[in-house]
Every structure is written in C-alpha cells, then in structure tokens.
Amino acid sequence: MNWLSVLLLAVVMIAGPQIISAVFLASSREAKRSSLAYLVGAGLAVLIGLTVWYFVFHVVRGTGGGQGKHDGTRHLIDWVVLAVLLALTVMVFARRKRSQPPKWMSKLQAASPRFAFGLGFLLFIAMPSDEATMVAVAGSLAGHDKPWWHLLPFLVLTLLLLALPLLVLLALGQRAVAVLPKVRDWANEHSWLVSEAVILIFVIIVVSDLLK
C-alpha cells in the first residue's frame, strides 16, 4: 500500500454539501471570516475522526501475536476497508439525484463565522460518507503500519480542496460572484462521478493488496 494513494480520497471527503457550503460561504456577507471559520471547523472534525479511527485500527493491528497472525490482522483490516469502500460507493451513488442544494444552504449567505465553524465541524464529523472515508483512510494506513503523521497530508489536501472557493474569491475579488455559482453547479452535478471514480481506484488498490 502506497500511503500517497489515500490522498485520492480527499476528493470524496469534500464532494457534495461540503464543497457546496464552502461556495455559499465564499459569497456570503462575511465571506472571508466565515470561510476561514468553516475550514477550521472542518479541519478539527477531520483530525479528530482520522485520529480516533487510526488508533482503533492500530490496536486491532497490534493484536497479532506472531508474524502469521500479524499478517492476518492486516488482511482483516483490508477486508474491513474494502467493505467500507463498497458501502461508500452505494452512498455516493444514492445521492447522485440531488440536483439542487438543500434549502437550508440559502441561509449561508448571512452565516456568521461562529455558525460556519459549527457547520464545518458537523458536516465532516456526522456525515456518513465522510465517516466512511475516514475509516478507509485510517484503516489503510494503520493496517499497513504507517505512522500517524501520514494522516496529515490527507488532512491538508482535504482542506486545500475545501478552500478552493475562498481562494477563487481572494484571486478574483468581485469577479468571483460570477464564477462561484458555476463552480457550485458543476460540483452539484458531477462531483458524485468524480467520487465514484476515485473510490473505484482505491478499491482496486485494496484488492491488489489482498491478492498479494
């Protein structure tokens, strides 16, 4: 397992209401402050989730006594990760028909930084698809004896992708008002396809590990 391969799943983490909320916040009344607060909340949630699941799998991995048992726990974790990825595929496919953002997102235009922080935290800590993605990432790394800090590049890339609307705002200024809705609409319509492709790639990687 190449630990860099888990970075692909950062795309799945932000696809859906996560990136769409970031777009709404980037065009809100307090765009910069609210967007930054949203990123902080999301980052905290992802860090907590990844860390908890990493140490859960690390404990499971450590239950192997001899070398054979140790390999057995690694394969067990790979099977768990594969099952989670397949469930994630179903979840992403099931939400593909959501052609319009939820009505509550329209209220983000007037969101305060405090509200944005809470939203970022809750969207990532309580969203089943994100929880499943964190299980897959943490399980893959812990199951293959990668150190905890290998989770950090995944966290950084997730936040970087989530910050794209804010970066567009900073780069384009008022012109972002015309660009951001197009980004939002594209993400709303096509992000599930990108997510499915990424998950499929990771499924192939996990299966290849199981066949070794």
Task: Give yes or no for residue 65 having a pLDDT over 60.
Answer: no
User: Residues 80, 139: contact at Cβ < 8 Å?
Assistant: yes
Closest CA to 141 of 153, 159, 123: 153
Can you tell me the distance from the alpha carbon of 106 to that of 170, in angstroms, rounded to the nearest whole number?
22
Task: Give yes or no for residue 212 having a pLDDT over 50.
Answer: yes
Query: Would you state the pLDDT for residue 10?
Result: 92
Can you tell me the distance from the alpha carbon of 175 to that of 163, in angstroms, rounded to the nearest whole number?
17
Tens of pLDDT, residue by residue over 71-108, are 678 888 888 988 998 998 888 888 776 655 566 676 77
Query: Would you state the pLDDT for residue 68?
Result: 47
Query: Would you state the pLDDT for residue 66?
Result: 46
Query: Would you state the pLDDT for residue 100?
Result: 59
Query: Would you state the pLDDT for residue 2?
Result: 57
The CA dihedral of 187, 141, 52, 163, to the nearest 10 degrees, is -30
The helix, strand and coil proportions of the chain, stated in percent and rounded to the nearest 5, come to 85, 0, 15
70 pLDDT band (50/70/90 cuts)? low
pTM of the model: 0.85
Q: Which residue has the higher pLDDT, 150 or 61?
A: 150
Tens of pLDDT, residue by residue over 109-165, are 778 899 999 999 999 998 888 999 999 999 999 988 889 999 999 999 999 999 999
Query: Would you state the pLDDT for residue 202?
Result: 83
Query: Would you state the pLDDT for residue 54?
Result: 95
Tens of pLDDT, residue by residue over 8-30, are 889 889 988 888 889 889 888 88
Q: Long-range contacts made by residues 64-67, C-beta under 8 angstroms, separation at least 24? A: none
